[in-house]
Structure 1
Amino acid sequence: MTGPAVSEIDVHVSELGQLFDHLDPSPLASRDLDPRTERFIVDSAKDLPHDAALGLVVHVEQPATDTAFLGEAVHRHFRQQATSARRRLRELLRRARISLLIGIAFLAVALAASKLAENWLDPGGMLEVLRESLSIAGWVAMWRPMELLLYDWWPIRAEVRLFERLAAMPVRVVNS
């Protein structure tokens, strides 16, 4: 019995060093992936089904003898990216909660001011304009917190899941 089929992402390089960021002064095995390499891998993974098992196949033109570090380097890189995305998600949700509290407070003040205006102004056109303006301003203050809480976290959560999948994918080197 065989396991699920692996959707492979193929990367072609002339030597393994091309996969890594040349500005990173760390030894090769500890470097971050080159941003273009990462973008290619991430974009390729996004094109595959969300439930597909992923695998990375690195085709190298110059024969590579020491390739054992590559899998761990790729896994480490994507684990760090997942951690970073989780941090962004936590920060976004924290900002959303604070924004919601501010929005609710502003809405309450705007609605209270609208009620108070009834005591100060004579019934008529100006009172209605002020009441409606305060009500609209209060609800508009709730727009961004609700947008954050309802919609903005989804893409970051999907990014975390993708990076976690990439951090767990098998990595294989093929001498071309």
Structure 2
Amino acid sequence: MTEGTTTKHIEAIHAAAVSAPVARDGRHHIELKVRNINALFNSLDPAPFREKDLDAAAEAFIVGWAEEYPFGTPLSLRVHVQEAPIEEVTPMVRDAVHNYFAYRGGIVKMELRRLMKQGRVSLLIGIAFLSTCLFVKAYLLPDTGGPAMEVLRESLAIAGWVAMWEPMQIYLYGWWPLRRRGSLFANLGRMPVEVVVTKGNVVAAL
């Protein structure tokens, strides 16, 4: 599937999607329509059915709707198929969806661990460089050296604090989007999944 085709599918699905109200079990429903069950998965993935990757458009649709709901809210997925499968596929689809989002969540966890390791290393480097700059400014550069010396002293202090930017960016802003996305994938990886046959035309089918 080309990028343009995928984008059109995503736009079409979002245009015709139905956001179901909160059910009595307290879950928000994600309603996904496909022509047949194979359209839910990546056609180029040779893995067994329960281990297949989701189609890019289907994944974008599911994740997009999950992000629309309040963070951490319980979710459920209902897949509407136009062409009835020859056998009951709900357990296999449920396992495939759970396995896929568990896999995606594992990747995000690894990315978060790498980011935090990078943050620790950059923090140590930044502290060492900042300490060196402040030490040189305080003890090796005289206070009475004229404007040029004053510029050098202040430049050292600024350079030291600039070195702290990367660890500050990681610990203040960099980690929580990954943590939030990992929690989202964990939520999607345990949501109930149901496959139902929808008779008639499906307006926005994959």
Give the TM-score range, shorter chain: over 0.9
Higher helix share goes to which structure?
A: 1
Q: Report the TM-score when normalising by structure 2.
A: 0.80
Residues 16-31 of structure 1: pairs in structure 2 closer than 5 A: 16-31=37-52
The residue that corresponds to 2:154 in the other structure is 132
Equivalent position SS for 1:4: coil
Aligned residue pairs total: 173
Alignment match, 1:166: 188
Q: Give the 3 Å change call, closer, same or farther, for CA 42–23 of structure 1 in structure 2.
A: same
Tell me what 1:117 maps to: 141
Per mean C-alpha deviation after superposition, the further-off stretch among 147-156 and 27-36 is 27-36
Q: How does 1:43-82 map to 2 (within 5 A)?
A: 43-64=64-85, 65-67=87-89, 68-82=91-105
Partner of 1:107: 130
Q: Secondary structure at the match of 1:168?
A: coil
Paired with 1:51 and 1:109, the residues of 2 have a C-alpha distance of 45
Alpha-carbon RMSD? 1.5
Classify the secondary structure of the residue corresponding to 1:66: coil
Equivalent residue, structure 1, for 2:17? none
Gaps of 5+ in 2: 1-22, 199-206
1:61-119 C-alpha deviation (Å, 9 max, x unpaired): 0002231200000000011111111111111000000000010111111112223122x
**1:141-165: CA deviation from partner (whole Å, max 9, x where unpaired):** 0011111011110100000110110
Unaligned runs of 5+ in 1: none
Q: CA deviation at 1:24?
A: 1.0
User: Quick one: percent identity of the two aligned structures?
Assistant: 42
> Distance between the aligned counterparts of 1:51 and 1:110, measured in 2?
45
Distance of 2:114 and 2:159 partners within structure 1: 26
Kindly state the Cα deviation for residue 22 of structure 1 after the two structures are TM-superposed.
Answer: 1.4
- Residue in 2 that maps onto 1:88: 111
| Partner residue, 2:26 | 5
TM-score for both structures, normalised by structure 1 = 0.93
Deviation at 1:122, TM superposition (A): 5.0
The 8 Å contact of residues 13 and 19 in structure 1, kept in 2 or not, is answered as yes
SS in 2 for 1:59: strand
